Amino acid sequence: MSDGNRYDPNKDLLRKPKFEIKEGPGSQLSASADAPADNSKLDGSSVPNSADAADSGSAVNSLPDKLFAPAMPVAPNYSRLPYPLVLMLVACGIAATSWWIEPMRGLTVIRILDMKGARAPDFLDAHINYADVLYHYGAHNAAIDSLKSALALVAASPKVDKVQQASLLLRMAMSQYDVKAKDEARQSTAQALAMLNKQTIPSVPISVCWQLNALANTIDREENDTNSSRTTIVRLWQKAIDYCRDPNPVLISNFYSGLAYAQMHQGDYAAAAANFMEFARCSEIRGDRLWRAERYRQAAYCYNSIGEYTKGQAAATKALDMCLRLGPTASRELAYSQYHLGQAESYLGLQQSAIKHLNSSLLELKKYYPEESCYTYALWYLANCYRDLGDRVQAEKFYSKCIKELYSTGSGPNIADLRKDQEKMR
């Protein structure tokens, strides 16, 4: 050994003791002076006996390494299952129960803030975020209950914060729509809109503007397309635009787009066209985009619908130029833009240019929009252009096509107006 008979693990751990086999009855393994003196503590199952050694015809030169090397860590065998299977079961258990971690964290935060009252910092954000978490987990009723308790705390505070009330009401209305409680949702929406008055609440955080936008989209999705719902949607987006003070014009352009769509469906084409153009102006820094071309084209549609064909021509021309720069990805929007441009030019007396653009749009309109009335209208405008140019053959050809398409699809110009235009060339 390292120091007489003293065993030094740091020096002697890796040294292999030598063993000799003594023959004779009851013979045992004996170690040389380099081996540990006490072999009785060794695992008997790991040390071969003399009979086994004699049968093998070879001497035992070393004990197994596990008697001298550090043992590998072994997992506790509680269930007598293989360790990889235990790990897999534990991982599955964690994954199955992790869904409640985020809601519990949010609940803990709002409980702490509720003890401090509605004037506590981050009170509003905490409750809104908690409602959003519950929404993502489908717990809409729990979100409504949480928002109601927050509203009660706000109302009980010495100085009521109208901004907090309006924000909580807007978020609660969205959750009420999610559970199909439309009457309660309409009531919450009306209360929030009544509070959001520039005279009493001169400014709100940008988050409230996005809540107005989100609620407008929710109503558009959940409510029937009635005049009342459209009016509410228009009011929500108008409030969002009035209160938005973000220096980034791209953000407010989203509100102009939503407002213009609602006004277009409401039949207020003049206001819709103005807001579509305002959207295009605010998003100008984004350059050529398909959705910008679409807004220009929709503005042209609105202008043409109220007889402002010069403005319609200008908007459609911008849409057409942008589509040409965008290339094949804008082929559908290009067809629509050519159609609206040809429509405006046919009323402005620019028949040759109108024929060019309308003919260019026919194939794409028939391919992509076979059930829509724009293809039938394009045939009608072409027939009128040829009639005004004195080309009776082409005019009759397109009038016949238009009538046939009208009876086939059931959509298009009024048959009486079409017959009247047809009679003008005779």
Hey, is 186 helix, strand or coil? helix
Q: Round to whole Å and give the CA distance between 69 and 64.
A: 9
Query: What is the pLDDT averaged over residues 45-56?
Result: 46
Q: Is the pLDDT of residue 282 over 60?
A: yes
Q: Cα–Cα distance between 239 and 213 in angstroms, integer?
A: 9
pLDDT digits (tens, 9 = 90+) for 239-275: 999 998 877 787 888 899 999 999 998 889 999 999 9
Name the packing angle between helices 392-409 and 415-423 (round to 10°).
Answer: 170
DSSP state of 311: H
- Most confident residue range from 86-90, 94-98, 233-237: 233-237
What's the CA gap between 302 and 267, in Å, rounded? 9
Residue type, 205: P
Say how far apart CA 252 and CA 285 lie, in whole Å: 13
Res. 32 pLDDT band, cuts 50 70 90? very low
pLDDT score recorded for residue 316: 95
pLDDT above 90 covers what percent of the chain? 29
CB 377 within 8 Å of CB 412: yes
Res. 58 pLDDT band, cuts 50 70 90: very low
Counted residue by residue, the chain has a size of 426
pLDDT, tens digit, for every residue of 161-200? 888 889 989 989 998 998 889 999 999 999 999 999 888 8
Predicted local distance difference test score (pLDDT) of residue 192: 92
Per-residue pLDDT at 311: 95
Average pLDDT, rounded, for the chain: 79
Distances (CA, A) of 370 to 326, 328, 339, 375: 24, 20, 14, 7
What average pLDDT does this structure show over 278-293? 84
Cβ proximity of 283 and 292 under 8 Å:
yes
Reduce the DSSP state of residue 149 to 3 states and report it: helix
Could you give phi then psi for residue 13, rounded to 5 degrees?
Answer: -65, -40
CB 288 within 8 A of CB 326: yes
Residue 123 CA to residue 132 CA, distance in Å, equals: 14
Strand 29-31 relative to strand 19-21: parallel, antiparallel, unpaired?
A: antiparallel
Residue 76 and residue 56: Cα distance in Å, rounded?
Answer: 37
Tokens of 393: 């053959």
Residue 178 host element (H or E): helix 162-178
**In the block, residue with structure tokens 């009330």:** 165
DSSP states along 237-303: HHHHHHH---S-HHHHHHHHHHHHHHHHHHT-HHHHHHHHHHHHHHTGGG-S-HHHHHHHHHHHHHH
pLDDT in tens, 299-340: 999 999 999 999 999 999 999 999 999 888 888 889 999 999
Cα separation, 197 vs 269, whole angstroms: 26
DSSP states of 350-401 as a string? -HHHHHHHHHHHHHHHHHH-TTSTHHHHHHHHHHHHHHHHT-HHHHHHHHHH
Return the pLDDT at 340: 94
Among candidate residues 113, 140, 134, the one with its CA nearest the CA of residue 124 = 113
Amino acid at 423: E
Q: 357-406 pLDDT, tens per residue?
A: 999 998 888 887 766 788 889 999 999 999 989 888 898 898 888 888 88
Tokens 């050994």 -> residue: 1
Residue 375, Cβ density class (10 Å: 0-12 exposed, 13-18 middle, ≥19 buried): buried
All domains in the chain, ordered by first residue: 1-65 (no CATH), 101-229 (1.25.40)
Q: Give the pLDDT mean for 1-21.
A: 53
| pLDDT at site 29 | 46
- Entry pTM: 0.69
Mean local confidence (pLDDT), 233-241: 92
Q: How confident is the model at residue 50 (pLDDT cuts 50, 70, 90)?
A: very low
Question: Looking at residue 30, what is its pLDDT?
Answer: 46
